[in-house]
Chain A
Amino acid sequence: MALLQISEPGKSTMPHEHRLAVGIDLGTTNSLIASVVSGEVSILEQGNEEHLLPSVVHYSSSNPIVGSEAKNLQIEDPKNTISSVKRLIGKNLSDIDTKFYSLDLKDDDGVIGIQTDQGIKNPIEVSSDILKKLKETAEESLGNELYGAVITVPAYFDDAQRQATKDSAKLAGINVLRLINEPTAAAVAYGLDQNKEGNFVIFDLGGGTFDVSILNLSKGIFEVQATHGDANLGGDDYDQVVFEWLCKSNKINVADSKIKQKLFALSREIKEALTNKDSIKINEAIDEKINIQCELSQQEFEKITKELTKKTISSTLHALRDAELSVSQIQGVVMVGGSTRMPCIQNAVKEFFKQPLLNNLNPDEVVALGAAQQANILAGNTNDNLLLLDVIPLSLGIETMGEIVERIIPRNSTLPVSLGQEFTTYKDGQTAMIIHVVQGERDLVKDCRSLAKFTLKGIPPLVAGAAKILVTFQVDADGLLSVSAKEQSTGIQSKIEVKPSYGLSDEKIKKMLEDSFNLANEDKESRALSEVKIEGSQLLEMIKNAINEDSDLLKEKELNLLQETLGKLKKSLESSDRNHIEELTKQLNENSQSFAAKRMDRSIHKALTGKSINSLEL
Chain B
Amino acid sequence: MQFNIDLNRLQKSYRIIQAEIHPDKFVSASQIEKNQSLIKSTEVNDAYQTLKNPIKRARYLIKINLNSEENNSTLPPSFLMQQMEWEEHLESILEQKSELEKFRLLIDGEYKKNLSSLERVCDKDKNWDGALGILNEIQFIDKLNDKIIQQINLIETK
Contact = CB atoms under 8 A, between A and B. Distances in A.
B153 interface: yes
A47 to B, nearest CB: 30
B16 A608 contact: yes
A596 B42 CA distance: 16
B22 interface: yes
Given A317-B156, A414-B45, A596-B32, A607 B27 contact: no
Contact of B28 (A379, A387, A539, A592): A379
Contacts of B40: 597, 600-601, 604
Given A416-B41, A589-B31, A597-B36, A607 B24 contact: no
A31 B48 CA distance: 37
Contacts of A177: 27
Contacts of B9: 616
A59 to B, nearest CB: 34
B153 A321 contact: yes
B19 interface: yes
Given A388-B24, A477-B23, A604-B20, A416 B38 contact: yes
B39 interface: yes
Given A311-B157, A318-B153, A538-B30, A417 B16 contact: no
Given A387-B19, A618-B15, A178 B27 contact: yes
A379 B28 CA distance: 7
Nearest to B30: A542
B30 A476 contact: no
A417 B12 contact: no
Contacts, number: 112
A539 B34 CA distance: 12
Contacts of A387: 15, 18-19, 22, 24
A524 B74 CA distance: 67
A477 B16 CA distance: 18
A165 to B, nearest CB: 18
B157 A314 contact: yes
Interface string A587-618: 00100110011011101100110010000111
Contacts of B149: 321
Contact of B24 (A178, A600, A604): A178
Contacts of B22: 387, 389, 477
Nearest to B45: A414
A378 B157 contact: no
Interface residues of A, number: 49
Given A416-B45, A593-B32, A616 B12 contact: yes
A418 B40 CA distance: 11
A221 B17 CA distance: 12
A389 B17 CA distance: 12
A413 interface: yes
B99 interface: no
A38 interface: no
B84 interface: no
Contacts of B38: 416, 474, 476-477
B27 A379 contact: yes
B123 interface: no
Contacts of B30: 538-539, 542
Contacts of A356: none
A527 B116 CA distance: 65
B29 interface: yes
Contacts of B21: 600, 603-604
Nearest to A594: B36
A385 interface: yes
Given A416-B42, A616-B16, A542 B29 contact: yes
B16 A611 contact: yes
A604 B16 CA distance: 8
A510 B41 CA distance: 31
A589 B153 CA distance: 49
B33 interface: yes
A380 interface: yes
Given A416-B45, A539-B31, A596 B36 contact: yes
Contacts of B31: 535, 539, 589
> Which of A314, A379, A416, A592 has the most chain B CB within a 10 Å cutoff?
A416
A301 B48 CA distance: 47
A618 B20 CA distance: 13
A538 B30 CA distance: 7
Contacts of B32: 539, 542, 589, 592-593, 596
Contacts of A596: 32-33, 35-36
Interface in B26-62: 27-33, 35-42, 45-46, 48-49
A611 B27 CA distance: 24
B17 A607 contact: yes
10 contacts: A314-B156, A387-B18, A387-B19, A387-B22, A389-B22, A413-B45, A414-B45, A542-B29, A593-B32, A616-B9
Q: Which 3 pairs between the two chains have the least Cβ-Cβ distance?
A: A477-B23, A314-B156, A616-B12
Interface of A: 12, 148, 177-178, 218, 221, 223, 311, 314, 317-318, 321, 377-380, 385, 387-389, 413-418, 474, 476-477, 535, 538-539, 542, 589, 592-593, 596-597, 599-601, 603-604, 607-608, 611, 616-618
Given A387-B19, A389-B22, A616-B16, 17 more contacts: A221-B18, A318-B153, A318-B157, A321-B149, A378-B24, A378-B27, A379-B28, A414-B48, A477-B41, A539-B30, A542-B30, A596-B32, A597-B36, A608-B13, A616-B13, A618-B12, A618-B15
